[in-house]
Chains A and B, each alone.
Chain A
Amino acid sequence: MTITLTVDGKKVTVEDGATILDAAKKAGVYIPTLCADEDLLPFGACRLCLVEVQGDRRPMLPACTTPATDGMVVRTSSPIIDKTRRNVVELLLSDHPEDCLTCPQNNRCELQRVAAYVGVRTNRFRGEKHAYPIDDSNPFYRRDLDRCVLCGKCVRTCDEVQQLGAINFAYRGFRTKIATVLDRPVATSTCESCGQCVDKCPVGALYPEAWLRYGLPTRETKTICSYCGVGCGLILQTRGNTVVGVRGDPDNPVNRGRTCVKGRFGYEFINHPDRLKKPLIKRDGAFVEATWDEALDLVAQRLAAVVRESGPDAVALLTSARCTSEENYLLQKFARGVLGTHNVDHCARL
């Protein structure tokens, strides 16, 4: 079933179950949001997406949680909507550090984007600001809660996407914050450092530690993770010729933007000076660089020699979890069909 409604005068047709926000997106109408995310369930916390629905008893409704209905007439801007949004952003900024220039999220920050959109210029609200210590216990990412807008995306990502629930809202009122179990440092918590939440954070509250050392990325390149047979789609983030970060490829059907800790954070070996880039062959007790052809020829010769001298069962093949299923299949085929032995095994069985 489909539903047709009007958003800011534009007619749009959506599937049953779509929210007003979905409809607005489809109609090409921008509604500011901080807590809505396509991968997460509607939450309705930031209140920036408030819109007016003609004929509704309530003066304003959140677009991200309100289902679209047939014939609905939605307005995304009015004096009271604009004023409420402006005040909400002004309130947020009244408890936000004024350090955008040194913030890793500068220019990509969603708070900057909504502040610019609603047009906040001054701040009339003086008062207490949070001053949490930065949690740098985790080697991969930093947590600076002074910048947190409590959109809950990290909490919901960890719960709904990663199914882990390592973090949640804690305390009440102004003291509300995101915390691990018993509010302990991240490194001593149940967090698995998958970095999924870091990717989702709309502001500079969660960011990769590497950015402090390498600076921010300037270019992105799609690739496939080489760590395991799942083969997640990755986007390598580079600065010059250095890989400074990785994020999951949201368009890749295998992982749809997700990765594990190795895929997301285990990339620094790429930049390491000791990294092997060519095969080595031991000659006279020392490793010497060789070409792939030389190396493979040598392996083939030695295998053939052992089989000839001592029979096929003198050889065993051990394959790797970093290979795909197809590669593992080929290897056992090679063992049985070419070498003639059943001696194959896999590191994942150990």
Chain B
Amino acid sequence: MYSDYASLRAWAESEIARTRPADRTRILVGLGTCGIAAGGLDVLAALREKLADMPVSAEIVPVGCIGMCFEEPLVDIVRPGEPRICYAKVTPKSIPTILEEHLLHNNVRKDLAFAVIGDEPYDGVPAWKQLPFFATQRRTVLRNCGFIDPESVAEYIVHDGYAALAKALFEMTPESVIEEVKRSGLRGRGGAGFPTGMKWAFCRQSPGEHKYVICNADEGDPGAFMNRSVLEGDPHSVLEGLIIAAYAIGADHGYIYCRAEYPLAIVRLRKALEQARALGLLGERIFGTDFSFDVTIKEGAGAFVCGEETALMASIEGKRGMPRPRPPFPAQKGLWGQPTNINNVETLNNIPPIILNGADWFAAVGTEKSKGTKTFALTGKVVNSSLIEVPFGMTLREVIFGVGGGIANGRQFKAAQTGGPSGGCLSSEHLDWPIDYETLTKAGSIMGSGGLVVMDDSTCMVDVARFFLNFTQSESCGKCIPCRLGTKRMLEILERIVAGQGKMEDIDLLLELGETVKLGSLCGLGQTAPNPVLSTIRYFRDEYEAHIKEHRCPAKVCKALITYRISEEKCTGCTLCARNCPVNAISGERKKVHVIDPAVCTRCDTCRQVCNFDAVLVD
């Protein structure tokens, strides 16, 4: 138990010194979910095996995701007094070479090394900030991800962890904490972008016997993993943000609502809570002050709608996760009928640096109304599929072509979708628009929580609209009529269009229904669900018309509108396609041109993918 920050910090430093002698080499392995999925655990096993019979003293440190999901598995080597060298796409096979060369022969393998995670290049390996991927990123939320061992509270503390909490408790009143957050211009990162300081002030002013703070870690958007990476890579900073929020609002209990599909995040959160309790940073009389606060982790069952704040609170109360109308707002009557403040993981994660460095420091980055940085899960047809953090105001082009490395496989950019399943699709005309809350709304999309899906010219925009609407329709809680039935009928219209059975009136019907669903629905799910449809009609109307008028899918995606055939000129009669076709639709003799029977073909695309001579054509 520590009643001042200096002694806590001294403990952490002695702890680090005790467990990590300065003369020992450290080997960092990326073991977030992304690293594990890429084979990180096999790499870890190979590392352990190899190190065991090498005459060096080295320690293996598992770290969270640094964002370079496209280069996983990552292994970084830090020798005493030397910079941190990052090796990318490491395999169990390349481990012995890397270790022997680097540790025994002092030879950094430039061909295998990706970058120096440090300010200066080293031995021909570029510094990370010289790489286009990192050059324009700015890491506030991700400051510790991939740098510290997320399971070590001492390491968090020596990286200034819990200094903001100490500052808030010892030097600031709850009101001045709220004032600082207000002045920083921080807006909620969960989607709607509501000013965080204002929300805290409402909740503080609300009368109530108890008050609650909730961390929304439901992250239901398919393809989004920003919150997960932070929870896995830096759980203490989320917790610190939550404790500061509780202090500012006057809450005595908090909940972290995390989806059960994030088992690693939950394990690390639980560990973080235990460690914080053991150090007196959570529980009775935090830091020896009069402020007491504790946190419960609530595992969500993975319904998208349970990320909506009122549904989330119903779910914590053990009820069906269904949104309810506001007012009353959570700040007035939230969990168990008491004033409640709910914030997204990333919102809370921004709090400790704001308190520590001040509102001005934070507000210096970003645009006039959107301050600070934003993390994005950059996915789709982009070279660098990754977790990134950039200042607000950066253009889509800078993000996709700079940080993202451009479109994969040398194809053309077609569209970018922001805001998760109910965001809109932006076209090339928006590439130079700045990314901030207002601009995205103006373009017919939303900021959402930070999904950014890049699409190339092989993507059919009608099919994309159908795909996202299928998701929102099946995730609608079913409570209100416009959302439950409106999205269903819109989906059916889109299904008819991609099947070549659309009519031109259908486009107007989609627009009209889209408006009814947007304006009529109870919660944000329905209010945004039509966005993918409305925005694709707005920017890619020609594709809808091609499907309807010409029964043609310009991107050659919609199965009902395409046929497969084999080019007589290109086919060498290798028989590969015939052997791979799952329905035996291809006939032909060895060394003779093969033929596809369109009546049998299911348009599965296998033959086109296996043919080595590009002989399979799609019309």
Interface residues in chain A, defined as those with a beta carbon under 8 Å from any beta carbon in chain B: 42-47, 50, 59-60, 62, 65-67, 80, 83-84, 87-88, 91-92, 94-95, 124-128, 149-150, 152, 168-169, 171-176
Contacts and interface: CB of A to CB of B under 8 A. Distances in A.
Nearest to A168: B320
Nearest to B323: A44
B478 A150 contact: yes
Q: Which 5 A-B pairs have the closest CB atoms?
A: A176-B478, A44-B325, A65-B325, A91-B485, A87-B516
A150 B482 contact: no
B419 interface: no
Interface in B457-515: 473-482, 484-489, 492, 509, 512-513, 515
B476 A173 contact: yes
Nearest to B505: A124
Interface-central residue, B305, B485, B515, B516, by most chain A CB under 10 Å: B485
A111 B519 CA distance: 21
B492 A172 contact: no
13 contacts: A42-B325, A44-B324, A45-B480, A46-B481, A47-B520, A84-B519, A87-B513, A91-B489, A94-B489, A126-B492, A127-B488, A171-B478, A176-B479
Contact of A172 (B324, B474, B485, B489): B474
A118 to B, nearest CB: 12
Contacts of A150: 478-479, 481, 484
B479 A169 contact: yes
A127 B522 CA distance: 23
A92 B520 contact: no
A175 B487 CA distance: 13
Contacts of A169: 320, 322, 477-479
B327 interface: yes
Given A59-B519, A127-B489, A176 B477 contact: yes
A115 B259 CA distance: 41
B125 interface: no
A174 B485 contact: yes
B13 to A, nearest CB: 51
A67 B327 contact: yes
B468 to A, nearest CB: 14
Nearest to B527: A58
Contacts of B485: 91-92, 94-95, 174
A271 to B, nearest CB: 41
A44 B516 contact: no
Chain A at the B interface: SS class: loop
A304 to B, nearest CB: 64
A174 B473 contact: yes
Contacts of A45: 479-481, 522
Interface of B: 303, 305, 320, 322, 324-325, 327, 473-482, 484-489, 492, 509, 512-513, 515-516, 519-522
Interface-central residue, A66, A88, A169, by most chain B CB under 10 Å: A88
B509 A124 contact: yes
Given A45-B522, A60-B519, A172-B303, A91 B482 contact: yes
A242 to B, nearest CB: 38
A88 B492 contact: no
A88 B484 contact: no
A92 B520 CA distance: 14
A97 to B, nearest CB: 15
A84 B484 contact: no
Contact of B481 (A47, A65, A67): A47
A126 B509 CA distance: 12
A149 B484 CA distance: 11
Contacts of B322: 169
A148 to B, nearest CB: 11
Contacts of A67: 327
A91 B476 contact: no
Nearest to B521: A47
Nearest to B304: A172
Contact of A174 (B324, B482, B484, B521): B484
Nearest to A41: B324
A87 B481 CA distance: 10
Contact of A173 (B324, B327, B475, B520): B475
Given A94-B485, A168-B320, A172-B303, 17 more contacts: A44-B325, A46-B480, A46-B481, A67-B327, A80-B519, A84-B515, A87-B512, A88-B481, A91-B481, A127-B492, A169-B322, A172-B477, A173-B474, A173-B487, A174-B484, A176-B477, A176-B478
B508 to A, nearest CB: 10
B521 A172 contact: no
Nearest to B512: A87
Contacts of A66: 325, 327
B520 A50 contact: yes
B474 A84 contact: no
A128 B133 CA distance: 48
A150 B509 CA distance: 24
A149 B521 CA distance: 16
Contacts of A80: 519
Nearest to B472: A173
Contact of B473 (A44, A88, A173): A173
Interface-central residue, B322, B513, B515, B520, by most chain A CB under 10 Å: B520
A171 B322 CA distance: 11
B479 to A, nearest CB: 5
Contacts of B303: 172
Nearest to B303: A172
B509 A172 contact: no
A84 B516 contact: yes
A126 B481 CA distance: 16
Contact of B516 (A62, A83, A127): A83
Contacts of B513: 87, 125
A198 B324 CA distance: 24
Contacts of A95: 485
A47 B482 contact: yes
A6 to B, nearest CB: 20
